[in-house]
Amino acid sequence: MNDTPGWTSPGSAPSDGQDGSRVPGPPSPADANGSTAQWSKDQPPAGQWSPPTDRTPPPAPGQNWGTPPPNVHWGRPPAAKPGIIPLRPLGTGEILDGAVKTLRTYWRTVLAITIPVAVISQIANILAQRYLVPVPPEVNTDATPAEQLQQSVDSAQASLIALGPSLLVTMVASLVSAALLTVVISRAVLGRPVSLGSAWQEARPRLLQLLGLTLLLATTAVAIMTVGLLPGLLIGGAPGVALTALGGLGATVVVVWLMIRLSLSSPALMLERRGVVPSLKRSAKLVRGSWWRIFGITLLSQLLIFLFAMIIAIPFTLAGIAVDGEGLSGLLSGTTTAFGWPFLIVTGIGGVITSAITYPISAGVTVLLYVDQRIRREALDLELARAAGLPGYDPAPGTGTVGG
């Protein structure tokens, strides 16, 4: 394996489980006739070790034979840690800590990636909210529940169509950010710094495939939700509302299951240099048997990111409302809920700060989950230790190195 993040080798252990065969021990002693001699406490085979004649007395009261001597460590030695994580199966806290440590250790490179991406995304969102998002239609209070639901669906539909250009810009910017951050985090695992230029050189050949992967996942999720919601929307009325809610719930469960199953496809595409479909299959293989664990860690990380975003967003939102006097007076009088440029700019600054910090943490959790699954299934820790140049991990003679 070379020092690039092309971790194409599956390692020394099989991906679908390890062999449970026992390591053979030394042969049993045999007598002169070739038969295997049986050891006993009273009469061991001739010429073999026998118990000592003297008996060591039991420990005196207050003595403890289980305490090791000073400066002597019993058990497994600590795992090597050339970078942000120890090279062994990771716990939830270690994955979250590794993502944060990447931001803290390589903040110059990370912020050079995330700040421009966050600024571009926020500008696109501000322009879309100001010029593209229509004013929400007034809901008729005398309408039936089905009509109110239809009005809400029409309003949401119009808003999504208007936000389309903003969502497209945000998706492309986030995609470039995720690609560059994947390279940075893969080097951080080895303890090697990476510049913005070298990260771009590593990520650029994979951007089109990553874009195709992202669009395929998004299209699949939209198609599943459409299949779940469409029958209820077509029926209409009270039965349609119930069928829409039930179909939406079922479609959401399917989408969540599928997205977790395919959540490691992006790191596989970037770091193993696979195509779109092989990366999806690779993710499904790595996640198999660990779906609930990956779901729990992903949910926990997104919850923490959400809480952090709220801590940042609330003060900026209050400041934006205070600065935008016209929007505040309209909100208090009930004439309008729209805010002007001052509110959008102040909240946009808060959005840039939030995105610049949360992008690398979210990407770090995904990449480290990928690394952790390969360590657990494929002994990737040995390959990473060799790539980091740690002593004692040289490949066996004649095996060569693993490269991407």
Q: Does the reported pTM lie above 0.85?
A: no
| Six token digits for residue 338 | 């729209």
pLDDT higher at 313 or 73: 313
pLDDT higher at 4 or 309: 309
Domain membership flag for residue 14: no
pLDDT at 332 over 90: no
pLDDT at 382 over 80: yes
Domain that holds residue 217: 113-135+144-387
Query: What pLDDT is recorded for position 302?
Result: 93
Among residues of the chain, what percentage have pLDDT more than 90?
44
Q: Could you read off the pLDDT of 194-220 as tens digits, one per residue?
A: 899 999 999 999 999 999 999 999 999
- Using the Cα atoms of residue 294, residue 298, residue 299 and residue 301 in order, give the sign of their dihedral: positive
pLDDT at 385 over 60: yes
Q: Could you read off the pLDDT of 99-138 as tens digits, one per residue?
A: 999 999 999 999 999 999 899 888 888 887 777 666 555 5
- Using the Cα atoms of residue 182, residue 260, residue 307 and residue 163 in order, give the sign of their dihedral: positive
pLDDT higher at 63 or 348: 348
Q: Could you read off the pLDDT of 153-168 as tens digits, one per residue?
A: 666 666 666 666 667 7
pLDDT at 334 over 90: no
Query: What pLDDT is recorded for position 161?
Result: 64
Q: Give the mean pLDDT of 226-240.
A: 84
> According to the 3-state scheme, what is the secondary structure of 46-115?
CCCCCCCCCCCCCCCCCCCCCCCCCCCCCCCCCCCCCCCCCCCCCCHHHHHHHHHHHHHHCHHHHHHHHH
* Rounded CA separation 126/327 (Å): 16
Domain membership flag for residue 65: no
Under the banding of pLDDT at 50, 70 and 90, the label for residue 14 is very low
Residue 73, sorted as left (phi over 0), alpha (psi -120 to 50) or beta, turns out to be: beta
How many domains does the chain divide into?
1
pLDDT at 10 over 50: no
Under the banding of pLDDT at 50, 70 and 90, the label for residue 240 is confident
Domain membership flag for residue 54: no
pLDDT at 286 over 50: yes
Among residues of the chain, what percentage have pLDDT more than 70?
66
pLDDT at 34 over 50: no
Q: Hey, which of 9-13, 231-235, 280-284 has the most confident mean pLDDT?
A: 280-284
Under the banding of pLDDT at 50, 70 and 90, the label for residue 30 is very low
Domain membership flag for residue 192: yes
Domain membership flag for residue 293: yes
* Rounded CA separation 184/179 (Å): 9
Helix (H, G, I), strand (E, B) or coil at 403: coil
DSSP string, 164-175: HHHHHHHHHHHH
Q: Give the mean pLDDT of 381-385.
A: 90
pLDDT at 301 over 90: yes
Domain membership flag for residue 39: no
Residue 118: CB atoms within 10 A of its CB come to 25
- Calculate the alpha carbon distances from 152 to 143, 149, 173, 386 in Å: 12, 5, 30, 58
Domain membership flag for residue 107: no
Under the banding of pLDDT at 50, 70 and 90, the label for residue 146 is low
pLDDT at 68 over 80: no
Question: In the beta sheet, which residues pair with residue 36?
Answer: 30
Asked if 133 contacts 163 with a C-beta cutoff of 8 angstroms, the reply is yes
Nearest residue to 184 (alpha-carbon basis) of 357, 5, 355 = 5
pLDDT higher at 51 or 7: 7
- Calculate the alpha carbon distances from 80 to 74, 95, 211, 302 in Å: 17, 16, 35, 29
Domain membership flag for residue 26: no
